[in-house]
């Protein structure tokens, strides 16, 4: 029979991160959300705890852990603050992981140590106005001239791309074309590391978002940006394919984050239902409230099992693409559904931004969109079924 109990080292990590989330992050969460301010002090402390280095070997400045450890940490942080959680998730999965997976020894030595320590952040520039799920829409170009890539284009919705500690953004760009048998043009898409202090690289003004207000998200402009030829990350022409594999891993992490959000809504609803009195008794004594919260707990529990399974397959070296898609789908919907129900439990107070459930309500919608929409997950699952 499978054992779903966490091993001691994992449980110790959960306990440590939970205490940190409750005692350090939660008290300042509403302030950063209201001010749309990036939580530099929280990021620094997460770095000191080794959270940004959890899945990386010690030789690269990491903690020698694994992706499941990162996922457990993300779940605990997302219970109280999704902005902090996505900053960690994107910093590791989208910023550092591509360098670790596909970088040369020289690139790893140059870029990974600061990313693994949390001293620096990185982003991944994939999405454009006509390209995201559809790579064929990529318009950013990179041409080799005298040993340098000359990059021109724009990117949208890039997390961790404009902070004071962002060291680079890895961008996808068309580096060539070829003709298919039917006469259509196939784009060769590669990934290139662009330091943020490169002339011509501009992080445009931050977005005014519905949620995740304390995370850093910008559109980017690259105008005649020149970087050394050796900044090519991975094999030329394999950039998009490599990023798809990064997304598969990232969906497990996003599922863990979404599970944390779903559980946070449960925890807040239970607390409030025991405290809030109407008609001479607490509202938690009403069966309608009990059943609503019971369904919320069921969603969170199911989401947790789904991402545990996907992570288990990944660590065992088994296929996990479909399991990751299922986990991301189930957890994202659980977070959104639980946020809606938690807001209902809180009534008018649930509509006030200072309450955590209102922030979860605004934050959770993106979990059905970012790093692969719900529809993309359904497409992947259906494809695995042979449809």
77 CB-near residues (< 8 Å, 6+ apart): 17, 20, 21, 25, 84, 85, 88, 257, 260
- Answer whether residue 301 shows pLDDT above 70: yes
Q: Active-site positions? A: 371
What is the mean pLDDT of the segment spanning 324-350?
Answer: 97
Nearest-angstrom CA–CA distance, 255 and 144: 39
- Answer whether residue 335 shows pLDDT above 70: yes
**DSSP string covering 79-143, please?**
TT-HHHHHHHHIIIIIIIHHHHHH--HHHHHHHHHHHHHTSSEEEEE--BTTBSS-GGG---EEE
Highest mean pLDDT among 18-27, 185-194, 245-254: 18-27
What is the mean pLDDT of the segment spanning 223-229?
Answer: 98
- Answer whether residue 52 shows pLDDT above 70: yes
Nearest-angstrom CA–CA distance, 16 and 13: 5
Q: What is the mean pLDDT of the chain?
A: 95
What is the mean pLDDT of the segment spanning 290-308?
Answer: 98
H or E element at residue 258? helix 239-275
- Answer whether residue 1 shows pLDDT above 60: no
- Answer whether residue 65 shows pLDDT above 60: yes
Angle between helix 356-364 and helix 321-346 axes, rounded to 10 deg:
140
Nearest-angstrom CA–CA distance, 350 and 158: 30
What is the mean pLDDT of the segment spanning 77-81?
Answer: 98
pTM of the model: 0.95
- Answer whether residue 62 shows pLDDT above 90: yes
294 CB-near residues (< 8 Å, 6+ apart): none
What confidence tens digit (pLDDT) does each residue in 127-177 have? 998 877 776 789 999 999 999 999 999 999 999 999 999 999 999 999 998
What per-residue confidence (pLDDT) applies to 348?
93
- Burial letters for 243-264: b for 16+ Cβ neighbours within 10 Å, e otherwise? beebbbbbbbbbbbbbbbbbbb
What per-residue confidence (pLDDT) applies to 243?
85
The confidence band for 180, taking pLDDT boundaries of 50, 70 and 90, is confident
What per-residue confidence (pLDDT) applies to 32?
97
- Answer whether residue 69 shows pLDDT above 70: yes
What is the mean pLDDT of the segment spanning 99-114?
Answer: 96
Q: What is the DSSP letter of 22?
A: I
- Burial letters for 169-184: b for 16+ Cβ neighbours within 10 Å, e otherwise? bbbbbbbeeeeeeeee
Q: What is the DSSP letter of 24?
A: I
Percentage with pLDDT > 70 across the chain: 99
Residues found in the chain: 387
What are the structural domains, with CATH classification, of the chain? 8-121 (1.10.540.10), 122-238 (2.40.110.10), 241-384 (1.20.140.10)
Burial of 267 (0-12, 13-18, 19+ CB in 10 A): middle
What is the mean pLDDT of the segment spanning 66-80?
Answer: 97
8 A C-beta contact, residue 371 and residue 132: no
What per-residue confidence (pLDDT) applies to 2?
62
More confident residue, 241 or 222: 222
H or E element at residue 353? none
More confident residue, 179 or 17: 17
């Amino acid at each position: 029979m499978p054992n779903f109990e966490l091993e001691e080292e994992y449980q110790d990590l959960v306990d440590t991160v939970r205490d940190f989330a409750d005692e350090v992050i939660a008290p300042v969460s509403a302030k950063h959300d209201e001010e749309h301010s990036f939580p530099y002090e929280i990021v620094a402390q997460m770095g000191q705890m080794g959270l940004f280095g959890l899945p990386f070997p010690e030789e690269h400045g990491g903690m020698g852990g694994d992706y499941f450890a990162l996922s457990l940490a993300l779940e605990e942080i997302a219970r109280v603050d999704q902005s902090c959680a996505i900053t960690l998730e994107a910093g590791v999965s989208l910023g550092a992981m591509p360098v670790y997976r596909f970088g040369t020894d020289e690139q790893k030595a140059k870029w990974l140590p600061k990313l693994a320590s949390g001293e620096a952040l990185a982003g991944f520039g994939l999405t454009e106005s006509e390209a995201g799920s559809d790579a064929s829409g990529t318009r950013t170009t990179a041409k080799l001239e005298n040993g340098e890539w000359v990059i021109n284009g724009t990117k949208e919705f890039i997390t961790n791309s404009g902070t004071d500690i962002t060291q680079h953004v890895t961008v996808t760009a068309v580096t060539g074309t070829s003709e298919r048998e039917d006469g259509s043009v196939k784009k060769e898409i590669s990934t290139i590391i662009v330091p943020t202090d490169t002339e011509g690289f501009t992080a445009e003004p931050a977005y005014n978002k519905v949620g995740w207000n304390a995370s850093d998200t910008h559109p980017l402009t690259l105008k005649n940006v020149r970087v050394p030829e050796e900044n090519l990350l991975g094999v030329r022409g394999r950039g998009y394919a490599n990023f798809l594999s990064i997304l598969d891993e990232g969906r497990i992490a996003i599922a863990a984050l979404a599970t944390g959000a779903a559980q946070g809504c449960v925890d807040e609803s239970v607390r409030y239902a025991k405290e809030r009195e109407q008609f001479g008794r607490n509202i938690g004594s009403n069966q309608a409230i009990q059943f609503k919260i019971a369904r919320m707990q069921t969603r969170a529990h199911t989401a947790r099992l789904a991402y545990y399974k996907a992570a288990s397959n990944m660590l065992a070296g088994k296929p996990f693409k479909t399991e990751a898609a299922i986990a991301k789908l189930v957890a994202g919907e659980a977070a959104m559904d639980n946020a809606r129900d938690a807001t209902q439990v809180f009534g008018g107070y649930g509509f006030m931004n200072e309450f955590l459930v209102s922030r979860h309500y605004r934050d959770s919608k993106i979990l059905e969109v970012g790093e692969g929409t719900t529809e993309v997950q359904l497409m992947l699952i259906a494809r695995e079924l042979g449809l």
